[in-house]
Amino acid sequence: MSEVVRYEVEDGIAVITIDNPPVNALGAGVSEGVVAGADRAAADPAVQAVVLIGAGRSFIAGADIRRFGTKRETPTRRSYDALEASPKPVVAAIHGFALGGGLENALCCTWRIAVPEARIGLPEVLIGIIPGGGGTQRLPRVAGVKAALEMITSGRHVPAPEAKFLGIIDELVETGDLRAAAIAFARSIAGKGLRRVGEIPPPAAEAGLFEAQRKVIARKARGQPAPFAAIAAVEAATRLPLAEGLAEERRLFAELENSPEARALRYAFFAEREVAKLPHLPKDTPTPEIRRVAVVGAGTMGGGIAMSLADAGIPVKLMDASPEGLTRGLQKIRDNYAVSVKRGSLTQAEMDRRLPLIEPVEGYDAIADCDAVIEAVFEQLPAKQEVFRGLDAVMKPGALLFTNTSALDIDQIAAATGRPEAVAGTHFFAPANVMKLFEVVEGAKTAPATLLAAMKLGRAIGKVSAYAGTCDGFVANRSRIPFGLEQNLMVEEGARPEQIDRVMTAFGYPMGPFAVNDLSGLDVNYMTRKRRAAADPNYRKWPVADRLVEMGRKGQKTGAGWYRYEPGDRTPHPDPIVDQIAREVAAELGIEQRSFTDEEILHRLLFASVNEACRILAEGKALRASDIDVMWLNGFGFPRYRGGLMFWADGIGAREIYNQIAAWHQRYGARWAPAPLLREIAEAGGSLREAKAPQLRNG
Ligand code: 3H9
């Protein structure tokens, strides 16, 4: 047959097995192998029915995403057509994932059975396209238009029991051996006729459904054509015969495959897989298991961290220096879960399962046997060092000691222990139980095994783990700081917060940066700025922001910050007082105020960060430019359909960015000095998104 598809006949049942590790994507030879298998089964009079199954950990994860956007031959027959045309019943036996083209192949089979843990879905919109193997036409025919529309526009992975309820799966297989169950099932339905999904007449949609869905999408999927195309394709299924609906689907698919959004989203998909890899570490490094975790500090961060562990089913011991702090922290956790239950995003049963996983304890002795500790106390070095001295005294040998700092020196924290190799940073982003980014920070003495264990822990709690070397701000915040600085300085120069916010929301951010500052509280970084100013005589202060804080304008929580707010309402209203403060600061600093174009605002903010990202990479603090992109996507709300900071920058071109930065260097001085790596890439006509740290370039 083919190297990736096997064909066997067992007692009158043909079994076509796809074996294309790791996830049985429909790569080279797979579709051809399925077609050949279906033909062989059709031609063999001894075969009564066919089973289509996946080897390894999945049924089929979909088309091979790496092949999109490349020239490839259109096969004369696709597996979808061959399966649907089979004169004998075909049973799709699903475990792991049946996604995209995987589910579409299954929908061309006459029956679908699955293990309860399996997940199915059409996630194509998440990579900027729509299903292209008939999913938009066949899913509405089995699941109804409403359910199909929801699945296709969200890309959600649907658990098998729900898929059974929706009519997509015919039977759940509770016994362990799916292959044997599928063969038995095939035998039971052999000779009892065919029930092809494609022969079901076009399904009807309730009035107004498509319009309503377009409105839902308009809010969520700004700037993205794929969800709208998905709605159009499903709409076609309700009014066209199958063949015409399939042609319409193919036309829409072809329009999207090479769209800028699809290219950016494909890049983001692979960047998020690459970020998990630390190829500079020795290959045989063991990864210690972390089963029980302690969290020290029951404040907002510590509570959020404890919740993210409990959410993933990991038992947590929560401790705090003060009994009142612990009680308050636990109450806050309870309240947070209760709010989720009230909103309907969590069931009461799930809350009742998670809460007991968080066990309040007193004193270090109570956590001594945990595999790892995450310290989340006040962001001050002496406080953290004291905790680490306490941990060092009691923790069992081999326990891993993580600090949730956002800016302090990991090495100084590690130095408070006799086991710096076991210490690493695990930087959560607020709110810790919501934000996906999990920065793993390597200190000078951190052992590779400690790093790998931290990376794995992040993934186990559903986060995106990303490596950072230790330096002020680590990678994510350090690359974001110049953006924040320019945002503030442009206000001194005459740009208004509302213009900057409008430019960035039009770019695709869910909120403008000033509105975000007001939401998180302007006082949050006030102390960090003071600390940096004290340490560095050249530190460029943010006088407008500082004055707002000093006036008590700390953002939404005080009813005013960069904007003013009406009581009980989060709508930001521009406030002339802010313009006045900006004018005063400008006058004091001798800055002449002027107007800004939208493009200048966008470029000032993002080029500043591209330049810093190049320095970070050259210093080896981030491994790959794409890691920085992953951080911006998961930590700062950078629009995913633009790929990430460095992917976006490549769209403009390193040379143009370098020239502009060099011009701003002349105009604004040292902070705009072009990074040598940027210059190198610009001169070589190279790609920013492919830039790597020296430790990866040399090895
Ligand atoms: C489609 O089907 C279009 C159709 O309508 C037909 C059109 C004609 N392609 O994520 P993991 C690689 S569009 C290529 O770490 P997990 C991945 O890069 C497709 N490669 O595992 C990684 O490689 P490496 C619709 C793929 O267990 C390795 O497999 N389908 C693909 O955490 C392991 O992946 C999707 O969008 C692929 N389709 O999660 C599903 N999938 O080891 C995309 C995976 O070298 N995939 N790889 O880094 C996923 O969502 C997850 O991979 C999955 C497994 C949930 C399946």
pLDDT digits (tens, 9 = 90+) for 300-310: 999 999 999 99
Q: What is the mean pLDDT of residues 587-607?
A: 97
Cβ < 6 A, ligand 1 pocket: 22-23, 25, 61-66, 97, 99-101, 104, 123-124, 127, 131-133, 135, 270, 273
Q: Closest Cα to atom 47, ligand 1: which residue?
A: 23
Atom of ligand 1 nearest to the CA of 127: 36
Instruction: Indicate the pLDDT class of residue 636, thresholds 50, 70 and 90.
Output: very high
Question: Which residues lie below 8 Å from residue 451, measured CB to CB, with a gap of 6+?
Answer: 278, 281, 424, 440, 442, 467
Average pLDDT, the chain: 95
Distance (Å, whole) CA 402 – CA 417: 12
Ligand 1 centre and the CA of 100: distance in Å?
10
Q: Closest Cα to atom 39, ligand 1: which residue?
A: 23
Distance (Å, whole) CA 97 – CA 38: 22
Q: Closest Cα to atom 51, ligand 1: which residue?
A: 61
Atom of ligand 1 nearest to the CA of 63: 2
Atom of ligand 1 nearest to the CA of 58: 56
Is the pLDDT at 528 greater than 60? The verdict is yes
Q: Closest Cα to atom 50, ligand 1: which residue?
A: 61
- Predicted TM-score of the model (pTM): 0.95
What tens digit of pLDDT does each residue of 39-59 get? 999 999 999 999 999 999 999
Atom of ligand 1 nearest to the CA of 130: 5
Ligand 1 centre and the CA of 19: distance in Å?
15
Ligand 1 centre and the CA of 25: distance in Å?
7
Distance (Å, whole) CA 528 – CA 532: 6
Angle at 663 between CA 661 and CA 665, to 5 degrees: 70
Q: Which pLDDT belongs to residue 146?
A: 96
Question: Which residues lie below 8 Å from residue 286, measured CB to CB, with a gap of 6+?
Answer: 449, 452
Q: What is the mean pLDDT of residues 136-143?
A: 98
Distance (Å, whole) CA 535 – CA 157: 49
Q: Which pLDDT belongs to residue 205?
A: 93
Q: Closest Cα to atom 7, ligand 1: which residue?
A: 132
Within 10 Å of residue 72's Cβ, how many Cβ atoms? 10
Atom of ligand 1 nearest to the CA of 61: 56
Distance (Å, whole) CA 338 – CA 334: 6
Q: Which pLDDT belongs to residue 225?
A: 94
Ligand 1 centre and the CA of 23: distance in Å?
7
DSSP 8-state symbol, 73: P
Is the pLDDT at 514 greater than 90? The verdict is yes
Q: Which pLDDT belongs to residue 222?
A: 78
Q: What is the mean pLDDT of residues 68-74?
A: 82
Atom of ligand 1 nearest to the CA of 122: 25
> Could you say which of 104, 248, 439, 498 is catalytic?
104
Distance (Å, whole) CA 244 – CA 250: 10
Ligand 1 centre and the CA of 147: distance in Å?
23
Q: What is the mean pLDDT of residues 612-634?
A: 98
Is the pLDDT at 2 greater than 80? The verdict is no
What tens digit of pLDDT does each residue of 639-655 get? 999 999 999 999 999 99
Pocket test of ligand 1: the residue of 18, 65, 97 to mutate, having most ligand atoms within 8 Å of its CB, is 65
- For 279, counting Cβ atoms within 10 Å of its Cβ (0-12 exposed, 13-18 middle, 19+ buried), the class is exposed
Ligand 1 centre and the CA of 65: distance in Å?
7
Q: Which pLDDT belongs to residue 70?
A: 85
Question: Which residues lie below 8 Å from residue 30, measured CB to CB, with a gap of 6+?
Answer: 2, 4, 5, 18, 20, 24, 60, 79
> Could you say which of 32, 84, 124, 235 is catalytic?
124
Q: Closest Cα to atom 23, ligand 1: which residue?
A: 273
Q: Which domains does the chain have, with CATH numbers?
A: 5-258 (3.90.226.10), 293-474 (3.40.50.720), 494-595 (1.10.1040.50)
Distance (Å, whole) CA 668 – CA 663: 9
Is the pLDDT at 1 greater than 80? The verdict is no
The two beta strands, 90-94 and 563-564, are unpaired
Ligand 1 centre and the CA of 20: distance in Å?
12
235 among known catalytic residues: no
Instruction: Indicate the pLDDT class of residue 585, thresholds 50, 70 and 90.
Output: very high
Q: Closest Cα to atom 28, ligand 1: which residue?
A: 22
Contacts 24+ apart (CB under 8 A), 76-79: 77/35, 78/31, 78/35, 78/133, 79/26, 79/30, 79/31, 79/34, 79/35, 79/38, 79/105, 79/108
- Per the omega criterion (within 30 degrees of 0), is the bond before 360 cis? no
Atom of ligand 1 nearest to the CA of 64: 9
Angle at 411 between CA 410 and CA 417, to 5 degrees: 100
Q: Which pLDDT belongs to residue 502?
A: 98
Pocket test of ligand 1: the residue of 4, 18, 20, 23 to mutate, having most ligand atoms within 8 Å of its CB, is 23
Ligand 1 centre and the CA of 220: distance in Å?
24
| Residue carrying the six token digits 């802010």 | 578
Q: Which pLDDT belongs to residue 699?
A: 52
359 among known catalytic residues: no
Distance (Å, whole) CA 632 – CA 435: 12
DSSP 8-state symbol, 364: G
* Of the candidate ranges 30-34, 248-252, 429-433, 681-685, the one whose mean pLDDT is the lowest: 429-433
